[in-house]
Every structure is written in C-alpha cells, then in structure tokens.
Amino acid sequence: MPTGLTKGAGWEIGVSRTLPLPPAAVWDFLTGQEGVRLWLGPVEGAGGLPTEKGEPYRTADGVAGELRGHRPGSRIRLTHGSTTVQVTVSPAPGAGGTKSVLRFHQEHLADAAEREERRAHWRRVMDEIAGALC
C-alpha cells in the first residue's frame, strides 16, 4: 500500500512540530480567534470555534463541518468538508512541560495529489503558528 493510504481512513497526512512553549500556551493560542484563523480560517458567527460535539461551523470561505471531539487542552477533531481534521497539543517528551508538540492530522483525502497539497498546506500553517508564537 502506498505511503499515506490506509484501509480505514483512506488517504491521510500528518504534520508535527515541537514548539518552545508549554502546552497550555499553545492550546490557548490555537483555540483563540487568531489561532483558529491560522489553521481553520475565519469562522462565521459570533461563537467562533465550536466546543460541543456535533456543533456545526462554517468558515468565511464556505467550508462547513461539525465538531466530532473536543478535549480541552489537548485535542480538537472536526469534519472539514468531506475530510476530518484533528489538532493535538501535548507536552514534548523530556522537556518538563516547557515545550509542546503540535500535530495536525487530516484524513479521508481524495488521492495522493490531495495528500501532497494538504501536506504543503499544514506545513505553511505550522510555520505561521510558530511565527506568531515564537
């Protein structure tokens, strides 16, 4: 089976980076207005990013989805059009809570070409987040 193709989730991609900040600081940024705008895009409505399972959202560029899972401080899982995106923040191993690992994972992609496009996208997002935080 080609790299990135799974039986259960089809084509998928994951991107991660260690950031020199504690997990709580990274989480607060990611779930705040500026952070959400960087990784998801501007969310329509006053509520911003949903926090209740099953709650819908729509981005300013027309992508609709719903929240599938939310563990405050560590994980958000949501549909994004026909795909699923998961964002996780965890303590970096051996850093004593002073560094974080940020991960973006997207599954149910159409094919290898979309996988590569999303890899480039998530790397750009990661660069923007790191630039805003560090």
pLDDT tens per residue, range 30-44: 999 999 999 999 998
121: helix, coil or strand?
A: helix
| Residue 83 pLDDT greater than 90, yes or no | yes
Higher per-residue pLDDT: 131 or 46: 131
Whether the per-residue pLDDT at 4 is higher than 90: the answer is no
Beta-bridge partners for 19? 100
Instruction: Say what the pTM is.
Output: 0.93
Query: DSSP secondary-structure letter at 123?
Result: H
The interaxial angle of helices 112-133 and 23-31, nearest 10 deg, is 110
Q: Is 90 exceeded by the pLDDT of residue 101? A: yes
> What does each C-alpha distance from 6 to 2, 11, 14, 17, 105 come to in angstroms?
9, 6, 13, 23, 13
Are 110 and 12 within 8 A, CB to CB? no
Residue with tokens 């996208």: 121
pLDDT, residue 2, reads 80
- Residue 48's nearest CA partner among 63, 39, 37, 64 is 37
Distance between CA atoms of residues 42 and 69, nearest Å = 20
The pLDDT of residue 124 = 98
Say if residue 45 is exposed, middle or buried (CB neighbours under 10 Å; 0-12, 13-18, 19+).
Answer: exposed
